[in-house]
């Protein structure tokens, strides 16, 4: 399911299946996309931040067109304890690999992989500096 921002319209709440993973897409060429994501984060229930949220930064192939500081996005990831993935959608190879990664994450978040849960992402996120 794709949405340009959150919250999702409440009219369809009862028809909506369970949400296992939220991927926030940030276009490195658009400051506006970062602002939209930041505003949408406020509408996400805290329980999602236990491994069911990830940030996907697109357009990283074009360094010369970037309007966002990557540092700012990494800080966002740290603040919300969620992984930040970087990709370039215009390159088919990277697009496919990224899709596979997201699918794998979704399988784990949906509980389809025995022995691994979404909480594993949170513990993998911890910096070795923290210890």
Partner 1 sequence: ENVDPQKTAFLLRKAWTLYSVTPLYRFHRSRLRDYARLLSAFIAAEKQKGLAVEVGVELDIKVAVSSLADLRGSEQDQAAVLVQLSLRSRVSSRNSEDKLVWLGWFCSVYGDDLSENMPEDFTCLPLFLTHGAESYTSMVGSWFQKTFDCCFRRLAISPLNLSWMVAMWTGCQLDRAASAVELVFSVPRLSQPLDISYAIHPEDAKALWDTVQKTPGEITQEEVDVFMDCLYAHFHRHFKIHLSAAKLVKVSTAVASAHCDGIVKILHSQYLSGVLMLLTELAISQIQ
Where on the chain is the footprint of partner 1 (CB under 8 A)? 29-33, 35, 63-69, 71-72
Cβ 41 to partner 1 shortest distance, Å = 17
Decide whether 66 or 85 has the Cβ nearer to partner 1: 66
Spatial contact of 70 and 63, defined as CB atoms under 8 Å apart: no
Decide whether 59 or 77 has the Cβ nearer to partner 1: 59
Q: How many helices, marked H, and strands, marked E, lie in the chain?
A: 4, 3
Gyration radius of the chain's alpha carbons: 15
Cβ 20 to partner 1 shortest distance, Å = 29
Cβ 73 to partner 1 shortest distance, Å = 12
Cβ 31 to partner 1 shortest distance, Å = 4
DSSP-derived 3-state class of residue 80: coil
Integer Cα distance of 129 and 91 in angstroms: 34
Decide whether 16 or 90 has the Cβ nearer to partner 1: 90
DSSP-derived 3-state class of residue 32: helix
């Amino acid at each position: 399911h794709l949405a340009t921002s959150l919250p999702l319209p409440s009219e369809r709440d009862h028809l909506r299946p369970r949400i296992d993973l939220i991927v926030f897409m940030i276009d490195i060429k658009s400051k506006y996309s970062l602002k939209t994501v930041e505003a949408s984060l406020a509408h996400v229930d805290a329980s999602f931040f236990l491994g069911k949220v990830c940030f996907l930064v697109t357009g990283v192939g074009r360094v010369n067109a970037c309007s966002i500081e990557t540092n700012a996005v990494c800080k966002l990831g740290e603040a919300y304890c969620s992984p930040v993935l970087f990709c370039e959608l215009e390159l088919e190879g990277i697009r496919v690999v990224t899709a596979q990664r997201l699918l794998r994450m979704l399988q784990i978040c949906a509980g389809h992989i025995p022995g691994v849960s979404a909480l594993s992402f949170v513990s993998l996120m911890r910096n070795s500096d923290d210890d």
